[in-house]
Structure formats: structure tokens, C-alpha cells
């Protein structure tokens, strides 16, 4: 974590109300960004009846770090014709760009299901855009959006040498890190995941449940052992409706407690599911609640409010030197009050997310049929109903089994 990127990013989403489905998709995008630490300004939760819409739109463009403009045919038409919200926002955006050409990077054009030849409003010119139409709306492209907002550029490869200059053999060192991820030698990651699943859950056909912490640790330890990233792509991800991310690290902390990237997981039971063919294998995970950290006021009220909104509750916080908890705000600031004094914690603090209510999710190969944005909200409904005690596990598996295979 660097000080440059430690501050919470604020993003405004500008879009047109084309249909209820489109509004739901935009809300899902806002929830995805929020879940990944970005403060999102969105009319669906920031505007009430009687509010000044023009003032809201102007604040959204002028007072945020980035502006996502969701470009559809309707939005492009309104922006080009200067009508509706899109037209008003276009006027402000154009003024911002004219005031300072560097402001152009503030605006992120996201294209969604544009049938016309022009993919963006005219004032964008030949700007690079992100296409989240149909099957393009996957976790890899959403991660590109996160990287752009957080200003985390992809690693530039090391500069090589001319092949026409004689070279000495490189000197090997004991702690030299590999220059790039290992290769699967042409095998697709989804096949490698299937092989890992078979090693972790030999003989499983259909569904088999596990609730012993040591058995869970052993089986998931095999499935999610390093490496999880290969030249050919990511091995596994986790899915919870629109909340989807790659799995980069997984380890047992103690007993039933595990750490999956930043998520603290008190895993109560898992189900290994083998649905007929190799690309439909997945693991369903249930998580028991942990006690709140004690860092925030009124945790019971916070938990109740989150469950009402999302179906589950969690707390984000920072962990300094692996033992001292600090608030998410202190983590973002890169400094915390320790023993009564402000202390720089940059480079010493790791982000953590603790689940304070029952939680569940699915682990699957990154190219699984589950990685389907059209299925996100149906999956989220299944998972929330399971948390509520409804017997919908088999119907959820049947719905997953009907999903089309993703083209590689």
C-alpha cells in the first residue's frame, strides 16, 4: 500500500435510466466497486424525492476522483443532443476537460450493449473505453476497472537485451524470484482446476458435505495451493452474485479460521459439487460469524443495517504488524493513533474483512459457467435464501448446471 493509493477513492456513476434491468446492472456495478473499497456516488442510493438533480450531477462530476460514464445507445443520444441528465452531465464534463486537458483521464467511458456505430458521446473523441457488454462483463475486465480507479498500472516487464549481442550465462541466486508466473504447458486453467478438485475430493460425484475443520483445511489446502496464477490465466475465483474476485492466497490460520486474501473466514462447512462434466465442478462454502472487532460504535446496529441491505454483514479494518487492529479509515490514511500518538503504518498494515454474520460463497474455476454476469443476481438470491434457512441448495445446483459453457 502506498500513500498515493491509500486514500479512499470517490467515484460518480453517470448513466441513463434505459430500463429496470439496466438500472439493476448499474446498481450491481456500484455495489461491486463499494465492496472493493470505493465510495460510490449513485442516484439510486444518494438521491431522494425533492432533491436537486442538477446539483447532484454537478457534485458527482466536480467533487469525485473519477466519473464512470455508462455508454448505451440512449445515453449517447442524450449526451450528443444535450438532452436529459446525460446532456447536462456532458456539458459539465466538457467544461472540465476544456478547463484542463489532464481532466480527460477523470472520465472512464464504460460501453454496454451499444448497437450503433458510435460507442461513446462525441466529446470523448477517440478515447480508450472499457467494454462491459454481454460476456465481456467478466471479473478480468472489472479488475481492469479497479486498477484504473486505484491507479495501479500493470507491471512493466523487465527490459531485455538485444538478441544480437553475445551474452554471458546469468548468475543464479538462491532467493531469485521467478520473472513470471509458471506455465501450465498449454493446459487451460479450468482443466487444471478440475484436476486439483479431483485431488482434493477424490471419488466425489454429485454433492458431498464436510464439516470437520481439519478435513476442510486439508481439502481446501489442496484445491487452493500455490500457484494460483499461471501464464495461461487465473486458476480460481469466488462468487457471491455481483461480488466476485480472484483467489490469490488461501491459508489456514487456526482451527476453523482461514484467510482468503483479505477475507477472514470462520468456515463451518463446505460442499464439494461434481456436476457430470469437468467444467462444472465447484465448492460451496458456509462461514460462521465472528465477533466484531470493537473498533466501531454500535456494532449491533451496523450488523442489522447491513443484513437488511445485503443479506449479510462484515467489518473492514487494518491489521498492523499482524496483531494490532486499526479502523478502515486509519488504514486508508496510512497512519493510526497508537498509544495516544499518530504513527505511520504504511507498509506495516494489511487490510482485513471480518464477517460478523453468517456468510456463504462459491469457489469455482475462473472460466466456470458461474462466471456469468446474467446469473449474478439469481445466484445472490439463492445464497441469501440459504443464509435464511431456505432449502434451495439443490435448486441452486440445478440452475448452475443449466448455465452455458463459457467459450475459452
Q: Which of 144-148, 173-177, 350-354, 395-399 has the lowest mean pLDDT?
A: 173-177
Mean pLDDT of 390-408: 92
Above 80 in pLDDT, residue 153? no
DSSP string, 104-131: GGGEEEEE-S--SS--S-GGGTT---EE
d(CA 193, CA 366): 9
Contact 68, 11 (CB under 8 A): yes
Mean pLDDT of 324-344: 93
Above 50 in pLDDT, residue 173? no
DSSP assigned state of 83: -
pLDDT for res 340: 92
Mean pLDDT of 5-9: 64
User: Percentage of the chain surpassing pLDDT 90?
Assistant: 59
Contact 293, 317 (CB under 8 A): yes
Above 60 in pLDDT, residue 345? yes
CATH code of the domain made up of 3-150? 3.40.50.10140
Mean pLDDT of 41-56: 86
Q: Which of 46-55, 248-257, 259-268, 288-297 has the lowest mean pLDDT?
A: 46-55
d(CA 106, CA 67): 6
CB under 8 Å, gap of 24 or more: what pairs does 221-224 form?
A: 221/250, 221/251, 221/252, 222/196, 223/196, 223/197, 223/199, 223/283, 223/363, 224/250, 224/260, 224/363
Across 135-149, 203-217, 365-379, which has the greatest mean pLDDT?
A: 203-217
Q: Exposed, middle or buried by CB within 10 Å (0-12, 13-18, 19+), for 302?
A: middle
Q: How confident is the model at residue 3 (pLDDT cuts 50, 70, 90)?
A: very low
User: Where exactly are the structural domains of the chain?
Assistant: 3-150, 189-289+358-401, 299-355
CA distances from 390 to 196, 309, 334, 384 (A): 31, 18, 43, 9
Mean pLDDT of 182-200: 94
Q: What is the rounded average pLDDT for all residues in the chain?
A: 86
pLDDT for res 103: 62
| Between residues 91 and 51, the one the model is more confident about | 51
Mean pLDDT of 108-134: 84
At 70-118, the pLDDT tens digits run 999 888 888 777 655 544 454 544 444 434 445 667 889 999 988 877 8
Above 80 in pLDDT, residue 221? yes
Q: Exposed, middle or buried by CB within 10 Å (0-12, 13-18, 19+), for 171?
A: exposed
Task: Report the sign of the C-alpha dihedral through residues 225, 239, 131, 58, in that order.
Answer: negative
Q: Residues with Cβ < 8 Å from 290, sequence gap 6 or more?
A: 264, 266, 354, 355, 356
pLDDT for res 193: 96
Above 90 in pLDDT, residue 154? no
pLDDT for res 135: 84
Nearest residue to 371 (alpha-carbon basis) of 279, 248, 270: 279
pLDDT for res 36: 87
Contact 243, 174 (CB under 8 A): no
Mean pLDDT of 180-204: 93
Its pTM stands at 0.64
CB under 8 Å, gap of 24 or more: what pairs does 116-125 form?
A: 116/73, 116/76, 118/76, 119/71, 119/76, 120/69, 120/71, 120/76, 121/69, 121/71, 121/75, 121/76, 121/79, 121/80, 121/86, 121/90, 122/79, 122/80, 123/79, 123/90, 123/93, 123/94, 123/97
CA distances from 222 to 111, 155, 194, 202, 216 (A): 39, 29, 12, 11, 10
pLDDT for res 177: 44
Mean pLDDT of 276-294: 95
pLDDT for res 383: 96
Q: How confident is the model at residue 6 (pLDDT cuts 50, 70, 90)?
A: very low
Q: How confident is the model at residue 53 (pLDDT cuts 50, 70, 90)?
A: confident
Q: Which of 150-154, 255-259, 339-343, 361-365 has the lowest mean pLDDT?
A: 150-154
Contact 369, 279 (CB under 8 A): yes
Above 60 in pLDDT, residue 1? no
Amino acid at each position: 500500500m502506498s500513500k498515493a493509493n491509500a486514500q479512499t477513492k470517490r467515484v460518480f456513476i453517470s448513466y441513463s435510466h434505459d430500463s429496470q434491468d439496466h438500472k439493476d446492472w448499474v446498481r450491481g456495478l456500484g455495489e461491486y466497486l463499494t465492496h472493493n473499497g470505493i465510495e460510490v456516488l449513485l442516484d439510486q442510493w444518494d438521491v431522494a424525492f425533492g432533491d436537486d438533480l442538477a446539483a447532484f450531477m454537478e457534485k458527482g462530476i466536480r467533487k469525485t476522483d473519477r466519473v464512470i460514464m455508462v455508454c448505451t445507445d440512449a445515453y449517447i443520444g442524450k449526451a450528443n443532443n444535450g438532452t436529459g441528465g446525460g446532456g447536462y452531465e456532458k456539458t459539465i464534463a466538457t467544461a472540465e476537460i476544456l478547463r484542463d486537458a489532464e481532466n480527460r483521464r477523470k472520465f472512464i467511458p464504460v460501453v454496454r450493449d451499444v448497437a450503433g456505430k458510435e460507442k461513446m458521446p462525441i466529446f470523448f473523441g477517440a478515447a480508450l473505453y472499457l467494454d462491459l457488454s454481454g460476456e465481456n462483463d467478466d471479473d478480468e475486465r472489472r479488475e481492469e476497472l479497479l486498477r484504473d480507479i486505484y491507479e495501479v498500472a500493470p507491471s512493466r516487464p523487465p527490459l531485455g537485451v538485444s538478441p544480437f549481442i553475445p551474452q554471458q550465462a546469468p548468475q543464479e541466486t538462491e532467493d531469485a524470484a521467478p520473472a513470471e508466473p509458471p506455465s501450465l504447458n498449454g493446459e487451460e486453467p479450468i482443466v487444471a482446476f478440475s484436476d486439483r478438485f479431483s485431488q482434493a475430493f477424490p471419488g466425489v460425484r454429485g454433492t458431498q458435505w464436510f464439516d470437520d475443520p481439519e478435513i476442510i483445511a486439508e481439502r481446501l489446502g489442496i484445491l487452493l495451493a500455490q500457484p494460483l496464477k499461471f501464464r495461461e490465466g487465473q486458476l480460481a475465483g469466488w462468487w457471491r452474485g455481483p461480488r466476485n474476485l480472484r483467489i490469490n492466497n488461501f491459508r489456514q490460520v487456526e482451527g476453523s479460521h482461514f484467510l482468503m486474501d483479505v477475507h477472514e473466514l470462520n468456515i463451518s462447512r463446505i460442499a464439494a459439487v461434481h456436476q457430470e462434466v469437468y467444467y462444472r465442478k465447484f465448492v460451496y462454502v458456509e462461514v460462521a460469524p465472528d465477533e466484531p472487532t470493537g473498533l466501531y460504535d454500535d456494532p449491533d446496529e451496523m450488523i442489522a443495517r447491513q443484513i437488511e441491505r445485503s443479506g449479510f454483514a462484515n467489518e473492514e479494518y487494518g491489521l498492523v504488524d499482524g496483531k494490532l487492529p486499526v479502523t478502515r479509515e486509519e488504514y486508508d490514511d496510512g497512519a493510526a493513533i497508537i498509544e495516544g500518538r499518530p504513527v505511520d503504518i504504511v507498509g506495516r498494515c494489511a487490510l482485513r474483512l471480518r464477517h460478523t454474520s453468517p456468510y456463504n460463497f462459491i469457489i469455482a474455476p475462473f472460466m466456470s459457467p458461474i462466471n456469468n454476469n446474467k446469473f449474478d443476481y439469481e445466484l445472490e438470491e439463492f445464497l441469501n435464501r440459504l443464509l435464511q434457512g431456505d432449502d434451495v441448495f439443490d435448486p441452486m445446483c440445478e440452475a448452475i448446471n443449466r448455465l452455458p459453457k463459457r467459450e475459452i
